[in-house]
Amino acid sequence: MGTSNIADKVVVITGASSGIGASTATLLARHGAKVVLAARRKDRLDAAVQEIAAAGGQAISVAVDVTKRAEVEALIRAAVDSFGRVDVLVNNAGIMPIAPIEALKVEEWDLQIDVNIKGVLYGVAAVLPHMQKQKSGHIINLASVFGIKVFAPGGTVYCATKSAVRALTEGLRMELHAHNIRCTMVSPGAVATELPESSSEEATRKHLREFYKMAMPANAIASAIAYAIEQPADVEIDEIVIRPTAQDF
Ligand SMILES: NC(=O)c1ccc[n+]([C@@H]2O[C@H](COP(=O)([O-])OP(=O)(O)OC[C@H]3O[C@@H](n4cnc5c(N)ncnc54)[C@H](OP(=O)(O)O)[C@@H]3O)[C@@H](O)[C@H]2O)c1
């Protein structure tokens, strides 16, 4: 396996059943990381774990709904039980149900806040005591270019959640450097994943599929995450913004 700074690191990835999370798990395992894949669709996770193992890598899967704090705590416990520590947490699970505010999809507003913001916070709460004890760690949060610019009508609540992830990551960085814990925010533009399918209206999904025709592949983001992890321990990559060349905002 690899000889980089990634080799032998224990990396927990939420939202690893598809898209960016799945691609990141595969890439990091190829570099010799011990990967813990988490999401709700256990069958998908198990298939990915098998593929990683067949290629000579090490991985386990844990069924987790990140909106449930106890499940996120159990995820980190499973990582520590299996591999002895957690070096990196990639808070990647996210949803993007696009709809105008006037449609009043309040349940979808709640769910975005629960997954995109509270899920990240539950990850931090679960992993922090371990990283403090280790006196080292790395928290990588997936924000979005929509955390930098607002896309409306349609993305108002999603943008607010990603803006929150941005503020949280900056605050975490300021608070956790004293514990030798690195914090990185990755803000992608359009990435070809299942994300546009999380909108509830078929017309919106169709529109998004059209928009996503210029999307970049998920491994573009996986490479950026690997880059942040492989830096020497005294070098912290704070922010990475990555767009498809063809995307104007
Ligand atoms: N694709 C883009 O254009 C883009 C751009 C900027 C930022 N991002 C961000 O990148 C991250 C990954 O998204 P993606 O594009 O790879 O989308 P994706 O293919 O839809 O993947 C989303 C992942 O999140 C998981 N997830 C959703 N709800 C969950 C929950 N309650 N508990 C646990 N896991 C949950 C899904 O797994 P299960 O359904 O199996 O639970 C899935 O593995 C998200 O935070 C997204 O906001 C994506």
What per-residue confidence (pLDDT) applies to 3? 60
Catalytic residue among 122, 158, 212, 227: 158
Is 212 part of the annotated catalytic residue set? no
Taking only the tens place, the pLDDT of each residue in 58-74 is 999 999 999 999 999 99
Does pLDDT of 121 surpass 90?
Answer: yes
Q: How far is the CA of 198 from the centre of ligand 1 (A)?
A: 9
Residue 7's pLDDT band (cuts 50, 70, 90): very high
Q: What pLDDT is stored for residue 249 in this prediction?
A: 84
The ligand 1 atom at the shortest distance from the C-alpha of residue 111 is 31
Name the residue of 49, 162, 193 to mutate for ligand 1: max ligand atoms within 8 A of Cβ. Answer: 193
Lining ligand 1 with CB less than 6 A are 14-21, 39-41, 64-67, 92-96, 115, 142, 144, 188, 190-191, 193-195
- Overall pTM > 0.75: yes
Q: What is the pLDDT of residue 4?
A: 85
**Non-local CB neighbours of 236 within 8 Å, separated by 6+ positions:** 173, 177, 182, 183, 184
| Three-state DSSP state, 182 | strand
Q: Which residue has the tokens 């979808």?
A: 108
Q: How confident is the model at residue 155 (pLDDT cuts 50, 70, 90)?
A: very high
pLDDT given for residue 156 in this prediction: 98
Question: Tokens 């914090």 — which residue?
Answer: 183
Instruction: Indicate the burial class of 112 (C-beta count within 10 angstroms; 0-12, 13-18, 19 or more).
Output: buried
Does the pLDDT value for residue 140 go beyond 60? yes
Alpha helices in the chain (DSSP H): 19-30, 42-54, 69-83, 106-112, 119-134, 156-176, 202-211, 218-230
Q: What CA–CA distances, in Å, run from 153 to 100, 107, 158? A: 5, 18, 11
Place of tokens 């609540």: 157
- Span 94-108, average pLDDT: 98
pLDDT band at 2 (very low <50, low <70, confident <90, very high): very low
At residue 185, the pLDDT reads 98
SS3 state of residue 98: coil
Q: What is the average pLDDT score of the chain? A: 97
Number of H-type helices and E-type strands within the chain: 8, 7
Q: What is the pLDDT of residues 12-49, one digit of tens each?
A: 999 999 999 999 999 999 999 999 999 999 999 999 99
